[in-house]
Amino acid sequence: MKARVIAWALACAAFAVLPAQAQRASEPDALHVLNRLGYGPAPGDLAHVRQVGIDRYIDEQLHPERLPLPADLAQQLAALPTAAASQRELITQYREAAQAVKDGGDEARAARREALRQLDIESGQARLWRAARSPRQLEERMVDFWFNHFNVFVGKGLDRVLVGNYEREAIRPYAMGRFRDLLGATAHHPAMLFYLDNWQSVAAGSQPSSGAGPAARASGLNENYARELMELHTLGVDSGYTQQDVTELARVLTGWTFAPRLTTGASVFAFDARRHDRGDKLWLGQRIGDQGQAEGERALDLLAMHPATARHVSYQLAQYFVADQPPAALVDRLARRYLASGGDIQALLETLFASPEFRSPKVQGQKFKTPYDYVVSTVRATDWPSTDVRPLLGTLRQLGMPLYGCQTPDGYKNTQDAWLNPDAITRRIAFATALASGRLPAAPTPPVDAQALLATLGGGISPKTRAALAEAMPELQAPMALGSPDFMHR
């Protein structure tokens, strides 16, 4: 048995240097939308898409509000202890724990580590339960897409406790709405203000308001957020802005901070007028006078509807949903729709999914799954019964894609060259073998039924692979299917 597993791993590793094979199946279009709009088929999904048709399925996914969550999933999400925790509560708890460590020594440090570990698990539960079990698969795809677009790193200070709230309040509600609303929500959230240091950015010689908390440690102008706001979030790196534009935008955004002790309501965002640079700014050819917080809102308005932003966002969406090198004609068409619709993300997706480029057989099965794609699609395809996400979080770390763990603001890549290598393939096969055999650490489950798995995946497993499975020992068939080149692509 061990020799067969090793041989299969070597075969898949060798395949890693070859281009993906087009899916040869009786349900190629159904599989295509299940793999691209969501995280692949779960039991019954192929039959559903065949019954309702491609267009109706896409329409269902474009309107997630019409798709109720399963009752057990909704209850489990609501029961998470931090599900209702506010930004203020999370920040207060973090600071109290930090103070306790200073005052209490080893015992307090251990308690703080355990609290943060539990919070990491709860954030993983909320994300992975939804991705694997929600019928709103496109919504989950868009949460993944936009979180990477507006990335924050869970390992940086306060973001250890804020990242789940950031996804819940700044990303998820706007993932299929208007880009300007999404841009504003991320700009005002303390996770982004902290991650890219705008909470410390002040005009030269300014003084923070009394009781402003983190503002008291501000020391001068910080350009980090202004730079990434243009380079990554909106215009794109090659759009023609200058270093002077970065500096001027940073001046515009001085005073944008957070202050739990001075704010009321759900958000702790605060505009501290005493820290704001009140001088005139010349930014992207526009003269901006002293308007306080309104200067930053105007900047977000202009960035959201800039033609370069339309092209940048359109390119990234086409790359995520269609091809690593998306067709230029599709990007042009999407950029025009973006501007015509006022940055309506749903309208943009409608155009994308109706395009001949998206529906072309040439792109089916040609996107290599990221580690996150692979883990979630495996859970869905096998109908994995456990709700313990700890082994899944551990696998994501082993595969080089820890959840919320990208340290750089550009987020995780979704292209083949970022993830395809022999070592990665071997690690994926080890995960597939453990899950399919029911031997994931801390989460023992019954072995996966190979025939049920193959029925779920349908034509997503090619005749060639099925022939190889038929010759294997029964207990190896499910691991081999999940470790096959067919399943590595979407």
pTM: 0.93
Q: How many CB atoms lie within 10 A of CB 328?
A: 10
Instruction: Count CB atoms within 10 A of the CB of residue 454.
Output: 18
Between 97-111, 183-197, 387-401, the lowest mean confidence (pLDDT) is in: 97-111
Rg (CA), the chain: 24
201 forms beta bridges with 220
User: Which own/partner contact pairs does 413-416 have at CB distance under 8 Å and 24+ positions apart?
Assistant: 413/370, 414/148, 414/319, 414/320, 414/367, 414/370, 415/319, 415/324, 415/368, 416/20, 416/324, 416/367, 416/368
pLDDT value at residue 430: 97
**Does residue 324 register a pLDDT over 90?**
yes
pLDDT in tens, 121-162: 999 999 999 999 999 999 999 999 999 999 999 999 999 999
Q: Which residues contact 117 (CB under 8 A, 6 or more apart)?
A: none
Query: What confidence category does residue 218 fall into, taking pLDDT thresholds of 50, 70 and 90?
Result: low
Give 155-198 pLDDT, tens digit per residue.
Answer: 999 999 999 999 999 999 999 999 999 999 999 999 999 999 99
For the record, the structure tokens of 69 come out as: 């969550």
| pLDDT band at residue 200 using 50, 70 and 90 as cut-offs | very high
